[in-house]
Amino acid sequence: MPTKLAGDGKRIAGIALASPWILAPIAGYTDWPFQLLCRQRGLTLTFTPMICAQALAFLSSRSATLKLLDWDRSCGPVAVQIFGSDPQYMASAAKAVADLGADLIDINMGCTVPKIVKKGAGAALLKHPDIACRVAEAVCGAVGVPVTVKMRLGYRCGDGLGLALARRLQDLGVAAFFLHGRYAEQGFSGRADGEAVRLWQNSLRLPVVGNGDIVDGPSAQRMQVTSESPVMIGRGLLGDPWLLERLDAWKNGREVPNPPSMEQAVATIAVHLHLVQRYSKHTELQSVQSFRSHLSQYCRKHRCLQPWRQQLLAQRDYAGLEGLLRAIERH
110 binds ligand FMN (CB under 6 A): yes
The C-alpha atoms of residue 331 and residue 327 are separated, in whole angstroms, by 6
Look up residue 159 and give its DSSP letter: -
Q: Which of 52, 111, 133, 140 is catalytic?
A: 111
- In whole angstroms, how close is the CB of 85 to ligand FMN at the nearest point? 15
Which CB atom, from 163 or from 232, has the smaller least distance to ligand FMN? 232
149 binds ligand FMN (CB under 6 A): no
Q: Look up residue 209 and give its amino acid.
A: V
Does the active-site annotation cover 52?
Answer: no
280 binds ligand FMN (CB under 6 A): no
Instruction: Among 44, 81, 268, 280, indicate the residue that binds ligand FMN (CB under 6 A).
Output: 81
Strand 176-180 to strand 11-12: parallel, antiparallel, or no bridges (unpaired)? Answer: unpaired
The C-alpha atoms of residue 21 and residue 42 are separated, in whole angstroms, by 9
26 binds ligand FMN (CB under 6 A): yes
Which CB atom, from 22 or from 325, has the smaller least distance to ligand FMN? 22
CA angle 200, 204, 209 (to 5 degrees): 55
Stretch that binds ligand FMN, among 132-140, 206-214, 275-283, 297-305 (CB under 6 A): 206-214
Burial class (CB in 10 A: 0-12, 13-18, 19+), 318: middle
- Sequential DSSP letters for 91-108: HHHHHHHHHTT-SEEEEE
DSSP H helical ranges for the chain = 32-40, 53-57, 64-68, 87-99, 114-117, 124-127, 129-142, 161-169, 194-203, 217-223, 243-251, 262-279, 284-301, 309-314, 318-330
Binding mask of the shown chain, residues 227 to 266, with x at each position contacting ligand FMN by CB under 6 A:
------xxxx------------------------------
- In whole angstroms, how close is the CB of 329 to ligand FMN at the nearest point? 29
212 binds ligand FMN (CB under 6 A): yes
By CB under 6 A, how many residues form the interface with ligand FMN?
Answer: 21
217 binds ligand FMN (CB under 6 A): no
Stretch that binds ligand FMN, among 105-113, 126-134, 279-287, 310-318 (CB under 6 A): 105-113
Instruction: Among 14, 49, 84, 87, indicate the residue that binds ligand FMN (CB under 6 A).
Output: 49
214 binds ligand FMN (CB under 6 A): yes
End-to-end Cα spacing for the chain: 50
Residue 177, classed as helix, strand or coil, is strand
Burial class (CB in 10 A: 0-12, 13-18, 19+), 310: exposed
What does the buried/exposed string (b/e) look like for 163-187 if buried means 16 or more CB atoms within 10 Å of the residue's CB?
Answer: bebbeebbebebbbbbbbbbbbebe
Which CB atom, from 191 or from 326, has the smaller least distance to ligand FMN? 191
Contact 44, 76 (CB under 8 A): yes
Instruction: Among 46, 211, 224, 280, indicate the residue that binds ligand FMN (CB under 6 A).
Output: 211
- In whole angstroms, how close is the CB of 201 to ligand FMN at the nearest point? 17
Which CB atom, from 104 or from 233, has the smaller least distance to ligand FMN? 233
154 binds ligand FMN (CB under 6 A): no
27 binds ligand FMN (CB under 6 A): yes
Which CB atom, from 231 or from 269, has the smaller least distance to ligand FMN? 231
180 binds ligand FMN (CB under 6 A): yes
- Which residues sit at the interface with ligand FMN, rule CB under 6 A? 24-28, 49-50, 81, 108, 110-111, 150, 180, 211-214, 233-236
Which residues are marked as active site? 111
